[in-house]
Amino acid sequence: MPARNSASWSVLIAGYIEGGEPEEGLKLYKRIQHGVHRVDLSAATIVLLVRACGELDLLEEGGEIHRGLNERELGYPGVAAALMEMYARCGIVDDARKLFDQLPQRDLVAWNSMIAVYARTGHPREALELYEKLDLSPDKQTYLAMLLAAIVSFYARCGAIREARGVFDRIRQRDAACWTAMIHAYVAGGEAARAIELFREMSVEPSAETYAIVLWACSIAGDAATGKALDEEISRTELRSNLLVQNSLVGMYARSGQLMYAKWEFDRIACRDCVSWNILLGAYAQLGHCREALELFPQMPQEGVAPDGVTFVAVLCCYCRIAAAPVGEEWWEQFVRMVADFGIAPWVEHYACVIELLGRAGKLGEAEELVRTMPFEAEAEQWSALLASCRAHGDDKRAARSAYRIAEMEGAAAAAG
């Protein structure tokens, strides 16, 4: 084969990396770099090499590539950004910032990358400080607004609502993601009324996510009037057929106790998913409409929607809330189907329902055995359910054992607390 030039080396290295063999690409890079003549690789290949180092956590190799670049190569599009990302992935955020500060020409990509590094590695203050040093025209701030929305969300997850609002107020051009992040922060922080208030101040078109969160806020705040008004507002937009929005409307009406409206919204959904079914079945179970839930549930798999663990919690809870034990033990058939037909490993909530139903049916030995052998540490709640069943059926020995276990747990909790 004739002597390879820079282009052929670039293609060969890129082929290894893009073909799922990044280690081979890096080995080849080392080999040619230690050759007699310097090989200038393409910008795209340098970026691929640097990204491979970041993904494989190869800080030393990534640093070697960085040190081997001349000023011209460092100025190639995307190279500096890839290096900053590599340093961040390897946990060396300071080196990413050092590189950024040393760049002779910083374009928008470099600024975006450094702010993104700070935002993704839990350095919101540094990200915001860097953002405020950047003088950009409004039309170039979309990506940065997205990053700052992530910072708002970061503070919200930490419960720092005041700090989240401080970041929000300093964002010059707020898009729907920024508004949504701050509205969500208020809802997650237990300030649903403030979330609704902020939504009313929103100066851009709400997204599906915005409506979903505000509808959630309405149900938490008990603001049925705003929820209904939002339903009417959404009906005038293209988002009326958006599944997230439709599910949120079902949830808003269900959590507000308006099951007739919830069912009406549910029936309007053309392609219901598991979430749609879980919202309605859960609402029926919670509000005591258990017969309706159990009659509706068989339609779910018939529509081609596979139930999940949440679905079966709602179904088994319905059986628990029906006054008389179901004839034919339908509840047990549902529990078996959950495992055998749908491959769902039972949760502690499923076991709790089964223990209660076994106890109600007078199968106290089976109920106690399940409490002792289920793949979770039984809690006082399960022993209490067994205790109630034992007392109802006059099994004093099992009742005493259950009471003893509950007392043990309460004593241990008191000592630990």
What single-letter amino acid sits at 157?
Answer: R
Per-residue pLDDT of the chain (417 residues; tens, 9 = 90+): 444 567 888 888 888 888 889 899 899 888 887 765 667 788 888 999 999 999 998 999 999 999 888 888 888 878 998 999 999 888 889 999 999 998 888 877 888 888 888 877 778 778 778 877 776 554 455 566 666 677 787 777 778 888 889 888 887 778 888 899 899 999 988 999 999 999 999 989 999 999 999 999 999 999 999 999 999 999 999 999 999 999 999 999 999 999 999 999 999 999 999 999 999 999 999 999 999 999 999 999 999 999 999 999 999 999 998 865 554 578 889 999 999 999 999 999 999 999 999 998 899 999 999 999 999 888 989 999 999 999 999 999 999 999 999 999 988 888 876
pLDDT value of residue 334: 93
CB 87 within 8 A of CB 57: no
Q: What is the pLDDT of residue 327?
A: 45
Neighbour-count burial of 327, counting CB atoms closer than 10 A to its CB (0-12 exposed, 13-18 middle, 19+ buried)? exposed
Q: What are residue 255's phi and psi, to 5 degrees?
A: -70, -20
Q: Give CA–CA dist 317/166, Å, rounded.
A: 43
HSE at residue 237, side-chain half, CA atoms within 13 A, is: 15
First to last CA, the chain: 76
How many whole angstroms separate alpha carbon 197 and alpha carbon 180?
A: 13
Cα 329 from Cα 335, distance rounded (Å): 10
How would DSSP label each residue in 258-304? -HHHHHHHHHH-SS--HHHHHHHHHHHHHTT-HHHHHHHTTHHHHTT
The secondary structure of 116-139 as a DSSP string is HHHHHTT-HHHHHHHHHH----GG
Integer Cα distance of 49 and 39 in angstroms? 14
**So what's the pLDDT on residue 3?**
46
Tally of CA atoms within 13 A in the half-sphere of 64 that contains its CB: 13
Residue spans per domain, the chain: 1-132
At residue 174, the pLDDT reads: 83
Side-chain half-sphere of 355: how many Cα atoms within 13 Å? Answer: 27
For residue 306, count other CB atoms closer than 10 A to its CB: 13
Question: Helices (DSSP H) in 34-107: which residue ranges?
Answer: 43-55, 59-67, 71-74, 79-89, 93-102
Q: What is the DSSP letter of 374?
A: S
Angle subtended at Cα 192 by Cα 167 and Cα 197, rounded to the nearest 5 degrees: 70
pLDDT of residue 136: 57
Q: What is the pLDDT of residue 138?
A: 45
User: Which among 401, 397, 369 is positioned nearest to 384, based on CA atoms?
Assistant: 401
d(CA 368, CA 232): 52
Residue 308: C-alpha distances to residues 122, 244, 328 (Å): 34, 18, 24
CA 399 to chain centre: 42
Other beta carbons within 10 Å of 12: 16
Query: b/e per residue, 199-234, with b = 16+ CB within 10 A?
Result: beebeeebbbbbbbbbbbbbbbbebbebbbebbeeb
CATH dotted code for 1-132: 1.25.40
Identify whether the C-beta of residue 130 lies closer than 8 Å to the C-beta of residue 114.
yes
Instruction: Using alpha carbons, select from 368, 350, 372, 348 the residue that is nearest to residue 358.
Output: 368
